[in-house]
Amino acid sequence: MDPVAASLMLMAGLLHATWHAIVKTGSSLSLLAGMGLVSSVLILPFMFLVPVPAPTTWPLIVASLVLHAGYKASLATAYRSAELGRSYPIARGAVPLFATLFASLGLQQPPRSGQLIGIAVIVLGITGLARDRIHGPVDRRAFWAAICAAALVAGYSVVDAAGTRQTEGWASFTVWMIVLDSVAFFLVAIMLRGPALVWEIRDAWIPVLIAGTLGLASFVVFLWALSRNPIANVVAFRECSVLFATLIGVLFLKERATPRRLCCAALIAAGLVAIALLKPG
């Protein structure tokens, strides 16, 4: 990745971990739905400044909408059953594993030796986080929800990368995708929660506003980086936010700073950095 993209992605990682921490502190589904509405309102004026997506782009937008909705639902499930310091590193750290698998099977891009080493380190860190408490029913559900979320993130990252490289440009795909994704997930959330969703969003309007603004900034930077850098590197670099999430969980959410948790988060981050810094070849 070029230095500008790397610096912005590091900032986006901090914003990403922060809004996840906000979502973890409340009703995850309601906060996710509400922050989507905030993002759509903030970016809606730009719909009049960018080109309308071409017919060939719409299948990518629809596929991304489905993957994003599934990711948010999985994330809400994981956060109901596990602490941020355990669920976030699993959900984000496993993303490059699935991205590598999808690239190998669908794009005939097998991983290089350096990527395999990074993946092995990530797997070690994830296993360490999940091992000691996965046997209970709540933690098992959280673990598989986090793994599902990771697979969906890898899927939408590939789709979104293709969308940002269409002839209309990355800004067109980004603006239309954010607005439509926010509306689509709000409809899904209200089907799941009913009218209570609106009251929950209203009661938590301050964290909803903050999370929505941070989430929008983080996602815009992510799509911009995808439009001009190798997908695997951008995806891996974004997930370095696991360290930020671990620190936020310990410092602000009063989660236990066990040696195992810190070491495992460091392992995941080290593996992600190894993948992110690899030059395409």
Residue range 25-46: average pLDDT? 87
What is the band of 258 on the pLDDT scale with cuts at 50, 70, 90?
Answer: confident
Q: Does 201 reside within a domain?
A: yes
Per the structure, the count of domains in the chain is 1
pLDDT in tens, 98-147: 877 776 676 565 667 777 787 778 777 766 765 655 444 346 777 888 88
More confident of the two residues 236 and 74: 74
The pTM of the full predicted model, rounded to 2 decimals, is 0.79
What is the band of 73 on the pLDDT scale with cuts at 50, 70, 90?
Answer: confident
8 A C-beta contact, residue 34 and residue 77:
no
Under DSSP, the state recorded for 55 is T
Please report, rounded to a whole number, the percentage of residues in the chain having pLDDT higher than 90.
Answer: 26
8 A C-beta contact, residue 1 and residue 229:
yes
- Residue 106, pLDDT score: 60
- Residue 108, pLDDT score: 60
Q: Does 266 reside within a domain?
A: yes
Torsion of CA 262, 265, 266, 269, to 10 degrees: -160
Q: Give first-to-last CA distance, the chain, whole Å.
A: 13
- Residue 253, pLDDT score: 73
For residues 139 and 161, what is the distance between their CA atoms, to the nearest angstrom? 33
Structural domain containing residue 198:
3-276
Q: Sign of the C-alpha dihedral, residues 203, 152, 214, 252? A: positive
Q: Does 281 reside within a domain?
A: no
Q: Does 263 reside within a domain?
A: yes
